[in-house]
Amino acid sequence: MRPPHDLPEPPHQVSFRFGDEEIEAWEGETVATALLASGVMITGVRAMSGRSRGPYCLIGVCHECLVEIDGLANQRACITTVRQNMKVCRQTRLRPLTGEDETREQ
Ligand code: FES
């Protein structure tokens, strides 16, 4: 039996940018859970209808949580682990599926 002082270290806190907001998260947490815990429910807008969308399945299936992360479009927030100082943005328009986005503003 392990003694009580041999418990695992608690996770460290990290922070990342979501638009203009600074979001605090736990190391190992996903972007989607960090955003939801911070009260952010809307991660983007549907390109065709213009309706809001946000994390739904949280297992990488529905693609409702697509965001831009460090300039890369079409990233699923629910399966992406937070990193210190990463930059996350709402995805508000249709993006190519190639990963690189030639239309990205500089
Ligand atoms: S919430 Fe469904 S894929 Fe991310």
- The verdict on residue 29 lying in a domain is yes
Residues with CB under 6 A from ligand 1: 32, 55-58, 60-65, 76, 78
CA of 10 to the centre of ligand 1 (A): 27
- The verdict on residue 49 lying in a domain is yes
Is pTM beyond 0.85? Reply is no
In angstroms, what CA-CA distances link 45 with 41, 51, 54, 95, 101? 12, 5, 8, 12, 17
- The verdict on residue 99 lying in a domain is no
Pairing of strands 21-26, 13-18: antiparallel
- The verdict on residue 5 lying in a domain is no
CB atoms within 10 A of CB 72: 14
CA of 88 to the centre of ligand 1 (A): 16
Number of domains present in the structure of the chain: 1
Range of the domain at 68: 11-90
- The verdict on residue 71 lying in a domain is yes
Q: What share of the chain is helix, strand, coil (3-state, %, to 5)?
A: 10, 30, 60
- The verdict on residue 95 lying in a domain is no
Q: Which atom of ligand 1 is nearest to the CA of 65?
A: 4
- The verdict on residue 54 lying in a domain is yes
Q: Which atom of ligand 1 is nearest to the CA of 76?
A: 4
User: What CATH number did the domain enclosing 16 receive?
Assistant: 3.10.20.440
Q: How would you write the pLDDT of the chain (106 residues) with one tens digit per residue? A: 666 778 888 789 999 999 999 999 999 999 999 999 999 999 999 888 889 999 999 999 999 999 999 999 999 999 999 999 999 999 987 777 665 544 444 3
- State the sign of the Cα–Cα–Cα–Cα dihedral 67, 70, 71, 73: negative
